[in-house]
Amino acid sequence: MLGKIQKDLIKLLAFFGGLFLFFYLGFSPLFRSSSATWLTSEYNEHLFSYEKEIQLGEIIDRYAIKEEEIDILKNRPIDSALWVISSRLKKQIPISEYDYKIKIIESEMINAFTIPGGRIYISKELILFCESPEQLAAVLAHEIAHVEKRHTVSRILKEFTISLLFSIISGTDTVLLSELWKTTISSSFNRKQEQESDEYAMDLLEKSNISPRAIAAFFRKLNRENLDYDEKVEFLMSHPHNNSRIKRSLEYKISNGFKPIPLDLGWKSIKEDL
Ligand SMILES: [Zn+2]
């Protein structure tokens, strides 16, 4: 039998415990958007630091991206063109935790994707598909948005707990790492994340003096060539379908003073060199 003092003590503890939970869940900035978010990846992202994210990206890159797939395109005109395009975009990102690493991979698929830590991969085929460097900038801006908004992290946190990710970072568990890689390339972003990324991309393009209509131009070409939804390709696994992405790009309100500055890179010869 518990004495009266002990019972009162338990009641008191329960009361203050309840009070603490009420204020913490209700008013902490982490939970401000909705008290229900505490169980979602949106919450977990905050617990996975940028530093850890960058380390994880390095590990995935080392594990999954074969140097020989990249080497072939090094020191070619496309390399410097990509540098010019990405620098123009990066200058307009006010504060970023990422030191972007953008690589071209030798792939027959039209593809672009990103892994944690600001690492973006663009396939050679996608570059060949782009009619202008502005279209490539549009794809890059979209991928940058997934990075800045930490969609890449929240996507893997749907499948992996933070402690599993920590064990990948600190250990040599290649089985887990291979599972993580599969998740990274096979799972998609949700519709909200895709729309958010297109919005972010259009804003970034405009600030970089590149027309946000480049997104429409890219998807129009896809339509012309009858290339539509492809669930294996990040940029094309458009939950918002091609036509609605074209529509939003055309409807995007460009400010009055906007003056596009062409990316004068000799695009035709860059593609011929590939
Ligand atoms: Zn996307």
- Report pLDDT digits (tens) over 113-144: 999 999 999 999 999 999 999 999 999 999 99
Whole-number Å distance, alpha carbon 29 to ligand 1 midpoint, is 28
Where residue 262 falls (left for φ over 0; alpha for ψ -120 to 50; beta otherwise) is beta
Whole-number Å distance, alpha carbon 235 to ligand 1 midpoint, is 5
Whole-number Å distance, alpha carbon 146 to ligand 1 midpoint, is 7
Whole-number Å distance, alpha carbon 149 to ligand 1 midpoint, is 11
Q: Which of 114 and 225 is assigned the larger pLDDT?
A: 114
Residue 127 confidence (pLDDT):
94
Q: Which of 88 and 245 is assigned the larger pLDDT?
A: 88
What's the pTM value of the predicted model, to 2 decimals?
A: 0.80
Give every CB contact of residue 198 below 8 A, 6+ residues apart in sequence: 142, 145, 215, 240, 245, 248, 249
Residue 154 near residue 41 (C-beta atoms within 8 A): yes
SS3 label, residue 34? coil
Q: Which of 29 and 238 is assigned the larger pLDDT?
A: 238
Whole-number Å distance, alpha carbon 21 to ligand 1 midpoint, is 37
C-alpha 54/C-alpha 58 separation (Å) is 6
Residue range 225-240: mean pLDDT, rounded? 59
Query: How much of the chain exceeds pLDDT 70, in percent?
Result: 77
pLDDT exceeds cutoff 50 at 22: no
The average confidence (pLDDT) of the chain is: 82
Residue 36 confidence (pLDDT):
36
CA atoms within 13 A on the CB side of 3: 2
Whole-number Å distance, alpha carbon 216 to ligand 1 midpoint, is 15
C-alpha 43/C-alpha 209 separation (Å) is 35
Residue 160 near residue 210 (C-beta atoms within 8 A): no
Give every CB contact of residue 215 below 8 A, 6+ residues apart in sequence: 138, 142, 198, 201, 202, 205, 245, 246, 249
